[in-house]
Structure 1
Amino acid sequence: MSDIYKAPESELTNREENSDFGSIEKGIAGDYSFSIGEAISEGWQLSKGKKRTVWLGMLLYMIAATAISFIIALITGYPVFDFEGTTEVSLATSTIYNVLVTFVEMPLAAGLMMIGIKIARGSETSGTEVFAHFDKIIPLIITNIIMGILILIGLFLLVIPGIYLMVAYMFAIPLIVDQNLGPWQALETSRKAITKNWFSFFGFTIATILILLAGFLALLIGAIWTLPLFFIAIGVAYRKVFGAPQGA
């Protein structure tokens, strides 16, 4: 006889028992299941009804990125609208402009990743997620600098170490904004977890990039489907390894 007074199991408990939801502890220990085909297949299924959300996020990203580029161009004196290339630009000006644009746009890119992750987790999200993480701009910048330096060093060391780090650090950015980790902690957490299954993630990275490129090469029409698939499949992979923050 069932106990009608028994409290229903919480969503958190069910999530913890679900092998499709990892955690930082499980990820580092390699206690997760990941398959390239399953991640892409689930990403495709979850993209149904969510394409508009991803594309709205991408549209807002492009508008914001254009505005940021214009403002930074005004500040640095970079001729961003000189399409004919008639204006001479010093190396210092060009470098400062590109570095500033990259750094300021990082929270927007993190927001795009979080749209895919939240869809993969079944959480509420919208296109405006791209604007939700500017409070993390400093740790994102520090993470990007460290990651760039280490990957560059790795590429100089016979290339292979650099390729290894490119793949191993793929979840460092969402770990900053989603799990509130510090830069080095996020980099090491991503690296340790992915190293447990590195070749699968390497194949996954190549497969998702090829799918995305195929969509854009097909007269751009295919991108209607492949762009949402790209971000949501990455979200599925992240969920399987790291799940969601405690209490989320």
Structure 2
Amino acid sequence: MNMQDKLQDLITNDYEFKFGEYFSRGWQLFGKKPGHYIGFFALTMLMIMVVAFIPVIGSIGAQILGGVLMVGFFVFSQNIQYNANPTFDDLFKPFSSFGKITIVQLIILGFTIVILMPILIFGFTSIFSGIFDIVQNADYYDNNPGAVFEMFDLEAMIPLAIITYLFLFFIQTIYMFSNPIAHFFNVSAWESMEASRKIIQKKFFHFFGLIILLAIMNIAGAMCIFVGLFITIPLTYTTMYAAFDDILKPTEANNDSLANDDSFEKRDN
């Protein structure tokens, strides 16, 4: 079944979102190769940090690399799921889809910039108007230093910031499967993004809740002197893979002989 047929089937017939099972499956996958997952995460962070230091394009390059290596976690998890000889090389197999993943990441980056524009414009406008006001009324602010904070319209900034973050969460949620779809289903960047959007919008609040819980889990990991992230971030990827595998069944799409059963529950090896 190709991506178009799979998409039409999911939209027409709907699908079940197995919230608790995705966390359970993610933990099972992580538990089978914890050393590999932790090593993958350490190597991923090292590579991203090195790329991030490249002048001018470092931040963009790091985002693209992060997208590619995230799919590497999916490839490794799939091979564990189906006992298909998982190896350390799995992390780098998505580089075969580097071009498509790059386009996906750049489009998402573009959406992110557009979403951030209102709050950035508002913030810079407030700052520059405040500086101009200080220059014009220097004596007043010298005698009333606390009045400096009154220049900034925090009452307007707070709701604008909340709306901005909600839109950012929305974008991150509906496109969370874009890169894996581009790689596993071998479709174009935009086709993968549209497929991800249409599939996730069917159960948007389920996915949104999943993202929120994963974010809370990683915040808790960061609070443990960041050491906890070596467990929570790989667990985030394995949980996301469990949802991806159950809903889209990529092994079926690729006519993989490992996919002998459509049932998520019966594919536990």
Q: TM-score, with normalisation over the residues of structure 1? A: 0.70
What is the aligned-residue identity percentage?
25
Q: Which runs of 5+ in 2 are unaligned?
A: 1-5, 119-159, 257-269
Alpha-carbon distance in structure 2 between the residues aligned to 1:141 and 1:101: 11
Alpha-carbon distance in structure 1 between the residues aligned to 2:231 and 2:169: 28
Would you tell me which structure has more helix in proportion to its own residues? 2
Cα distance change, pair 199–187 in 1 and its aligned pair in 2 (3 A): same
1:235 aligned onto 2:241: yes
Q: Secondary structure at the match of 1:132?
A: helix
Cα distance change, pair 201–101 in 1 and its aligned pair in 2 (3 A): closer
Alpha-carbon distance in structure 1 between the residues aligned to 2:62 and 2:228: 29
Cα distance change, pair 240–122 in 1 and its aligned pair in 2 (3 A): farther
Deviations 1:87-121 (A, max 9, x none): xxxxxxxx433223433554233323433454455
Aligned pairs, how many?
205
Alignment of 1:30-109 (within 5 A): 31-69=14-52, 72-73=54-55, 95-109=56-70
1:246 aligned onto 2:207: no
Alpha-carbon distance in structure 1 between the residues aligned to 2:80 and 2:200: 21
Q: CA deviation at 1:195?
A: 0.4
Q: Max radius of gyration: which structure? A: 2
Q: Residue 206 of structure 2 corresponds to which residue in structure 1?
A: 200
Q: Secondary structure at the match of 1:140?
A: helix
Alpha-carbon distance in structure 2 between the residues aligned to 1:151 and 1:31: 29
Alpha-carbon distance in structure 2 between the residues aligned to 1:114 and 1:228: 13
Alpha-carbon distance in structure 1 between the residues aligned to 2:230 and 2:204: 29
Q: Which runs of 5+ in 1 are unaligned?
A: 1-22, 74-94
Is this contact kept in 2: 1:55–1:228, CA < 8 A? Answer: yes
Alpha-carbon distance in structure 1 between the residues aligned to 2:44 and 2:246: 26
Q: CA deviation at 1:240?
A: 1.7
Alpha-carbon distance in structure 2 between the residues aligned to 1:128 and 1:52: 14
Give the root-mean-square deviation of aligned CA atoms.
Answer: 2.9
1:185 aligned onto 2:146: no
Q: Which amino acid letter does the alignment assign opposite residue 61 of structure 2?
A: L
Q: Which amino acid letter does the alignment assign opposite residue 240 of structure 1?
A: D
Cα distance change, pair 67–30 in 1 and its aligned pair in 2 (3 A): farther
Deviations 1:115-145 (A, max 9, x none): 3454455544233222212232221111112
Q: CA deviation at 1:39?
A: 1.1
1:141 aligned onto 2:86: no
Deviations 1:205-240 (A, max 9, x none): 011121122133224454454333221111111112
Q: Secondary structure at the match of 1:239?
A: helix
Q: TM-score, with normalisation over the residues of structure 2? A: 0.65
Q: Which amino acid letter does the alignment assign opposite residue 219 of structure 2?
A: L
Is this contact kept in 1: 2:26–2:235, CA < 8 A? Answer: yes
Cα distance change, pair 152–240 in 1 and its aligned pair in 2 (3 A): farther
Q: CA deviation at 1:177?
A: 1.3
Q: Residue 129 of structure 1 corresponds to which residue in structure 2?
A: 90
Is this contact kept in 1: 2:75–2:93, CA < 8 A? Answer: no
1:218 aligned onto 2:224: yes
